[in-house]
Amino acid sequence: MFGHTRTLQLLRGAISISTLNPETISHLFPKTLNPNFENPKFQWLIRKLSTATSSAGGVWRNPNSISIWRRKKEIGKEGLIVAKELKRLQSNHIRLQRFIQSNVSRLLKSDLVSVLAEFQRQDQVFLSMKLYDVVRKEIWYRPDMFFYRDMLMMLARNKKVEEAKRVWEDLKKEEVLFDQHTFGDIIRAFLDNELPNEAMEIYDEMRQSPDPPLSLPFRVILKGLIPYPELREKIKDDFLELFPGFSVYDPPEDLFDDQDWKTDSE
């Protein structure tokens, strides 16, 4: 398999990501590289490149540039006014929808992003989902890993399973790929909020990802699985198979019995 850095350097010469098919790519590579277009890792590279390329004219964006969903989000005056009004109207769905159509859609990108981030911080699930829908319709919207990560983390904290499933379906349709560390953080969030079934569904997605597995996310997940010993044994087996020679800390079997006894005593 050819090096990732060399591959990206060659693919940057493409006019548009939509033209990156085996026929066009073959002209970009020296024959000595002999890229395997059916290889999942190669397809993953193409999709990773697409997230760094604007769909408007195929303009190359710096892959090291900070996502708008990771930048510091300070709400401007207009955003504060809109946020306050949204919270006031949330019990009246008709008036709320009218306000969203007339005012929220007029917000600047930075204000809309900051208001959504603030609602997520406050665990305002209903309003966050409303702005989630607004953001995805904006002309500047691009599928983004951190956008979906923040939504899923907030929904996990509030144990909103149906909403989380809807968000997951959306990111799958948009072919958003999480890296291994993000997978680990999201799975841990679901485990910490007593949603092991949903966490294991995301774990299955993680195992199917073309992104190479890393040991640290597995350790994060294994720690979150301590209250679920049967599930933990399954993940532990996967970990030891992927990383032979590594060790896993196993807490004492009576750890939670002692905690329950202490709680009852108090």
| Assigned domain for 125 exists | no
Q: How large is the average pLDDT for residues 195-218? A: 94
| Assigned domain for 77 exists | no
Boundary residue ending a domain (12, 36, 51): 51
In contact, 85 and 103? CB cutoff 8 Å: yes
Q: 197 or 252: whose pLDDT is higher?
A: 197
Q: Indicate if the pLDDT at residue 24 is higher than 50.
A: no
| Assigned domain for 15 exists | yes
Q: Indicate if the pLDDT at residue 54 is higher than 80.
A: no
Average per-residue pLDDT for the chain: 78
Q: pLDDT value at position 106? A: 85
Q: How large is the average pLDDT for residues 50-65? A: 42
Q: Indicate if the pLDDT at residue 39 is higher than 50.
A: yes
Rounded Cα–Cα distance for residues 146 and 4 (Å): 23
Q: How many separate domains does the chain show?
A: 2
Q: Indicate if the pLDDT at residue 213 is higher than 80.
A: yes
| Assigned domain for 266 exists | yes
Q: How large is the average pLDDT for residues 96-102? A: 92
Boundary residue ending a domain (21, 36, 51): 51
Burial 115-150 (b: 16+ CB within 10 A, else e): bbbbbbeeebbebbbbbbebbeeeeeebbbbbbbbb
Q: Indicate if the pLDDT at residue 194 is higher than 70.
A: yes
Least confident of 25-34, 92-101, 230-239, 249-258: 25-34
Q: Indicate if the pLDDT at residue 64 is higher than 80.
A: no
Tokens standing for residue 190: 């679901």
Range of the domain at 45: 4-51
Q: 211 or 253: whose pLDDT is higher?
A: 211
| Assigned domain for 259 exists | yes
pLDDT band at 202 (very low <50, low <70, confident <90, very high): very high
Specify the long-range contacts of residues 33-39, CB closer than 8 Å, at least 24 apart: 33/2, 33/6, 35/2, 35/7, 36/1, 39/1
Q: How large is the average pLDDT for residues 110-118? A: 92
Q: Indicate if the pLDDT at residue 60 is higher than 70.
A: no
Q: pLDDT value at position 69? A: 67
Q: pLDDT value at position 192? A: 96
| Assigned domain for 103 exists | no
| Assigned domain for 100 exists | no
| Assigned domain for 23 exists | yes
Residue with tokens 């989380």: 164
| 3-class secondary structure, 34 | coil
